[in-house]
Amino acid sequence: MLNEYNCWLQSREIKNESGINLKTVSTVFSNDALIGAIISEQAAEEYRLGINRLLGFSPMLSQYKTGGDKAAVYLGTIKSIAGELKQDLYQGSLREGGFVIKGNSDGLFIAGQDECGLLYGVFRFLSLLAQGKASSSMDIKEEPASPLRVINHWDNINGTIERGYAGNSIFYKDERVDFQRDRIKDYARLLASVGINRISINNVNVRFGARFLITEEMLPKVAELAEIFRPYGIKLLLCVNFNSPMIIGKLPTSDPTDKAVIEWWNKQTEIVYSFIPDLAGYLIKADSEGQPGPFQYGKNHADGANTFARALKPHGGVIIWRCFVYNAAQDWRDWSLDRPKAAYDNFIPLDGQFDDNVILQPKFGPLDFQVGEPVAPMFGAFKKTRHIMEVQITQEYTGHQIDLCYLPWVWQIIMDFNTDYGPNSTIKELVGPYKEGHSFIEGFAGVVNVGLDNNWTGHTLAQANLYGYGRIIWDPKLSAKDIAREWSLLSFGAGSTGEKIDDILMKSYRTYEKYNAPFGVSFMCSPMGHYGPHVEGYEFSRWGTYHRANATAVGVDRTSKGTGYTNQYSPTVSAMLENPATCPEENILFIHRLRYDFVMRNGETLLQNIYNTHFEGYDEVEAMIAEWKSLEKSLSPEVYKSVLSRFERQLNNAREWRDQINTYFYRKTGIADKQGRKIYE
Ligand code: GCV
């Protein structure tokens, strides 16, 4: 039965049906690189732990010696195995982190392109073994689509987590870096097992004591964290405050073009690297929601980013620069301003002006992780700028890990989105290493959903979102269904329980979407908290998040006749979105302002569709609860009860959404539900 803490790395005494004797293992490492050796050692240790976890015995590991005893399994790099054992596993070169798993009459070879590749190869082998898919004739070659596979923590130094729903921070407590070593190591293992290779450990809103993480006083503890993640091939990123030269350095300005400021960043960065020589770099939120940035000095974001880039360059570091830059003091009376246009307007004109170690990080959608948002127009449009895509694994707008919402579902939709800038320009086809003149998306950053809760994610089934994030950014061609199946097999084992659970997962996104704000209209949620409905909670606020519903119509016209947002896309995508008949219906109110009597593709009016989806959403939660209840006997009481209690809260939430949304539109229009279902006055 599921041990929640272990997530998808369950202990499970399975039968070894692979046909391979997994007991004797030779390690064929070339120990020429220090960090490489640490990672290879960890890979071998993970093999030992994994076999023990799955088969209940500890294999014998020994270093390969020419003329020594034959082993059943060999762990190394493609190069070291070719050199020592004359096994030609792969000709050519895989990407960093790639691996080969191959069985032949000489044994089973798990070989990385590099040491991280070996580590990932070991984890993939263990995963396949646990899924009953390992065999003595395996012949697998894999390489990650995304070079940068990043986790972002929004953890605060006081131990709270911005938009965190699974307990307090695993990194901080009481204004200091404070963690349980074992727990961090277990976390690093979970992340590495799905291929994560970068982690930012503090909130992008860098406030209070967190502003001093880059000082000699705090760096020793940060370096301890780096040391725990290092054997797992995961490098740290630190979020920094743009005003650090003033806050820490006591300079009169933080103007990124000022000589003293540039000098300050160079020196401070040297100090940082003296503690963590393999730091991946910095991550920054500038000119955004109260965070300082270059605009305050009349400078643009290339001026800002390049100063950081030049301080990091001598150390091999990068600056990841967020594109969540918009005017957060808007006037609802003004229909001409349109927040979703801001990121494109601020960054696309700078394409080509960033140094080669600047990586931009726009959110996947133009607004803010809303349900039913289209993919942002800057993807496919950048030609000379390195960039990655930000998504939320944490469920800020998707139910706070109280409501079930399986996110790989929407990530698959994102991956399939065709930017239509020439051939092969779907998002999944654009994911890959940067090459100038091409729009390659170098990877992803996922705002993570973990905290100190024993099951890491609050809702046990939300573990599937963390797992799925790693899997889909490694291989964007994987479907949400494949991932759900893998995850449930690993977590619950073979059999109908896991199958039913992945079936529940697969329905959950659409169900959530149905009872939420209708058809991509966005921001009908409660202000600040973002859980539950408050239909006009943001309607007269300063945040630029309006739906503008009146008695006849709802939505914002973002076509070329309206705010002109659709002009930011390639001509074919723009034309597709502009036409209500071709615009995806899940985004239709994001792009169009429609009358309630607009007839949708199923022949029903928009208003009737709003009613229908909200009734259906609630009913579907009830059905999921019934399905969950049918699993009681096959689950541990702890897991069964904790998930059930969340489903019960979800049902209340769905009821509030259903009734408040339906009543709101009924009051606006005076038009009743065709089917006569209960809508409150
Ligand atoms: C970290 C949204 C969230 C904020 C978050 C911000 C961001 O507005 O509500 O909590 O701040 O996005 O992505 O920077």
- CA 28 distance to own-chain centroid: 34
Q: What is the whole-number distance in angstroms between the Cα of residue 543 and the centre of ligand 1?
A: 12
Mean pLDDT of 504-524: 98
pLDDT in tens, 644-672: 999 999 999 999 999 999 999 999 999 99
Does residue 285's CB lie within 6 angstroms of at least one atom of ligand 1?
A: yes
Q: What is the whole-number distance in angstroms between the Cα of residue 612 and the centre of ligand 1?
A: 32
Does residue 264's CB lie within 6 angstroms of at least one atom of ligand 1?
A: no
Does residue 315's CB lie within 6 angstroms of at least one atom of ligand 1?
A: no
Interatomic CA distance for residues 140 and 128, integer angstroms: 11
Give nearest CA residue, ligand 1 atom 12.
368
Give nearest CA residue, ligand 1 atom 8.
368
Mean pLDDT of 273-292: 98
Cα torsion for 49, 123, 361, 246, to the nearest 10°? 20
Q: What is the whole-number distance in angstroms between the Cα of residue 466 and the centre of ligand 1?
A: 19
Per annotation, catalytic residue among 46, 396, 475, 620: 396
pLDDT at 51: 97
Q: What is the whole-number distance in angstroms between the Cα of residue 369 and the centre of ligand 1?
A: 9
Interatomic CA distance for residues 433 and 450, integer angstroms: 28
pLDDT at 436: 84
Does residue 204's CB lie within 6 angstroms of at least one atom of ligand 1?
A: yes
Does residue 20's CB lie within 6 angstroms of at least one atom of ligand 1?
A: no
DSSP state of 290: T
Does residue 8's CB lie within 6 angstroms of at least one atom of ligand 1?
A: no
Q: Which atom of ligand 1 is nearest to the CA of 390?
A: 13
Helices (H), 16-114: 34-55, 78-85
Per annotation, catalytic residue among 175, 289, 436, 597: 289
pLDDT in tens, 439-475: 899 999 999 999 999 999 999 999 999 999 999 999 9
Q: What is the whole-number distance in angstroms between the Cα of residue 396 and the centre of ligand 1?
A: 9
Q: Above 80 in pLDDT, residue 357?
A: yes
Does residue 153's CB lie within 6 angstroms of at least one atom of ligand 1?
A: no
User: To test the ligand 1 pocket, which listed residue (289, 320, 396, 526) has its Cβ within 8 A of the most ligand atoms?
Assistant: 289
What is the percentage of the chain residues whose pLDDT exceeds 90?
97
User: To test the ligand 1 pocket, which listed residue (368, 393, 543) has its Cβ within 8 A of the most ligand atoms?
Assistant: 368
pLDDT in tens, 261-279: 999 999 999 999 999 999 9
Q: How many residues does the chain have?
A: 681
- Mean pLDDT over each residue of the chain, to the nearest integer: 97
Give nearest CA residue, ligand 1 atom 13.
324
166 pLDDT band, cuts 50/70/90, is: very high
DSSP state of 462: G
431, 441 Cβ separation under 8 angstroms: yes
pLDDT at 34: 85
Helices (H), 276-353: 301-312, 342-347
pLDDT in tens, 379-394: 999 999 999 999 999 9
Q: What is the whole-number distance in angstroms between the Cα of residue 442 and the centre of ligand 1?
A: 22
Does residue 154's CB lie within 6 angstroms of at least one atom of ligand 1?
A: yes
599 pLDDT band, cuts 50/70/90, is: very high
Helices (H), 243-333: 244-247, 259-275, 301-312
- The 10 Å CB-count burial string (b at 16+, else e) for 264-302 is bbeebbeebbebbeebbbbbbbbbbeebbbbeebebbbb
pLDDT at 437: 85
What is the percentage of the chain residues whose pLDDT exceeds 70?
100
pLDDT in tens, 182-215: 999 999 999 999 999 999 999 999 999 999 999 9
Catalytic (active site) residue 578: no
Does residue 287's CB lie within 6 angstroms of at least one atom of ligand 1?
A: no
Tell me the CB-side half-sphere exposure of residue 673, using CA atoms within 13 A.
Answer: 20
35, 278 Cβ separation under 8 angstroms: yes
Does residue 620's CB lie within 6 angstroms of at least one atom of ligand 1?
A: no
Which of 270, 246, 241, 274 has its CA nearest to residue 260? 246
Instruction: Give 60's contacts (C-beta < 8 A, 6+ positions apart).
Output: 23, 24, 25
Residue with tokens 């593709």: 601
Mean pLDDT of 580-590: 98
Does residue 53's CB lie within 6 angstroms of at least one atom of ligand 1?
A: no
DSSP state of 351: T
Q: At what angle do helices 496-515 and 480-492 cross, to 10 degrees?
A: 130
Interatomic CA distance for residues 211 and 282, integer angstroms: 13
pLDDT at 35: 87
Give nearest CA residue, ligand 1 atom 2.
368
pLDDT at 32: 67
Per annotation, catalytic residue among 155, 255, 368, 475: 368
Interatomic CA distance for residues 27 and 45, integer angstroms: 11
Catalytic (active site) residue 351: no
User: To test the ligand 1 pocket, which listed residue (160, 163, 364, 392) has its Cβ within 8 A of the most ligand atoms?
Assistant: 163
Does residue 300's CB lie within 6 angstroms of at least one atom of ligand 1?
A: no
Which of 391, 402, 441 has its CA nearest to residue 147? 441
User: To test the ligand 1 pocket, which listed residue (241, 285, 324, 393) has its Cβ within 8 A of the most ligand atoms?
Assistant: 324
Does residue 368's CB lie within 6 angstroms of at least one atom of ligand 1?
A: yes
Q: What is the whole-number distance in angstroms between the Cα of residue 471 and the centre of ligand 1?
A: 25
Question: Which structure tokens are listed for 503?
Answer: 């079936």
Q: Which atom of ligand 1 is nearest to the CA of 447?
A: 13
Does residue 541's CB lie within 6 angstroms of at least one atom of ligand 1?
A: no
Q: Which atom of ligand 1 is nearest to the CA of 205?
A: 1
Mean pLDDT of 341-362: 98
Full-model pTM = 0.98
- The radius of gyration computed from the CA coordinates of the chain, to the nearest angstrom, equals 26
Q: What is the whole-number distance in angstroms between the Cα of residue 238 and the centre of ligand 1?
A: 17
Please tell me the chain's helix, strand, coil percentages from 3-state DSSP, rounded to the nearest 5.
40, 15, 45
Q: Which atom of ligand 1 is nearest to the CA of 154?
A: 1
Q: What is the whole-number distance in angstroms between the Cα of residue 497 and the centre of ligand 1?
A: 37
580 pLDDT band, cuts 50/70/90, is: very high
List the beta bridge partners of residue 108. Answer: 73, 103
13 pLDDT band, cuts 50/70/90, is: confident
Interatomic CA distance for residues 529 and 518, integer angstroms: 19
Give nearest CA residue, ligand 1 atom 11.
205
Q: What is the whole-number distance in angstroms between the Cα of residue 649 and the centre of ligand 1?
A: 25
Q: How far is CA 335 from CA 156, 543, 544, 560, in A?
A: 36, 13, 10, 14
Does residue 272's CB lie within 6 angstroms of at least one atom of ligand 1?
A: no
Q: What is the whole-number distance in angstroms between the Cα of residue 164 and the centre of ligand 1?
A: 11
List the beta bridge partners of residue 112. Answer: 77, 99
Mean pLDDT of 25-35: 83
Q: Which atom of ligand 1 is nearest to the CA of 396?
A: 9
Beta pairing class for 99-104 and 107-112: antiparallel
Residue 104 parent element (H or E): strand 99-104
pLDDT in tens, 103-124: 999 999 999 999 999 999 999 9
DSSP state of 288: B
Interatomic CA distance for residues 588 and 52, integer angstroms: 52
DSSP state of 110: E
99, 117 Cβ separation under 8 angstroms: yes
Q: What is the whole-number distance in angstroms between the Cα of residue 389 and the centre of ligand 1?
A: 15
Helices (H), 153-291: 181-193, 219-229, 244-247, 259-275
Does residue 341's CB lie within 6 angstroms of at least one atom of ligand 1?
A: no
83: how many CB neighbours lie within 10 A of its CB? 13
- CA 458 distance to own-chain centroid: 17
pLDDT in tens, 314-323: 999 999 999 9
Q: What is the DSSP string of 380-401?
A: TT-SSS-B-EEEE-S-TTTTTT
Q: At what angle do helices 480-492 and 115-130 cross, to 10 degrees?
A: 70
Mean pLDDT of 586-606: 98
Catalytic (active site) residue 289: yes
Q: How far is CA 531 from CA 159, 426, 527, 528, 625, in A?
A: 21, 32, 8, 9, 20
Beta pairing class for 73-77 and 99-104: unpaired
170, 225 Cβ separation under 8 angstroms: no
Q: How far is CA 423 from CA 426, 434, 439, 458, 574, in A?
A: 9, 17, 12, 42, 17
Question: Which structure tokens are listed for 98?
Answer: 């790639």
Q: What is the whole-number distance in angstroms between the Cα of residue 107 and the centre of ligand 1?
A: 51
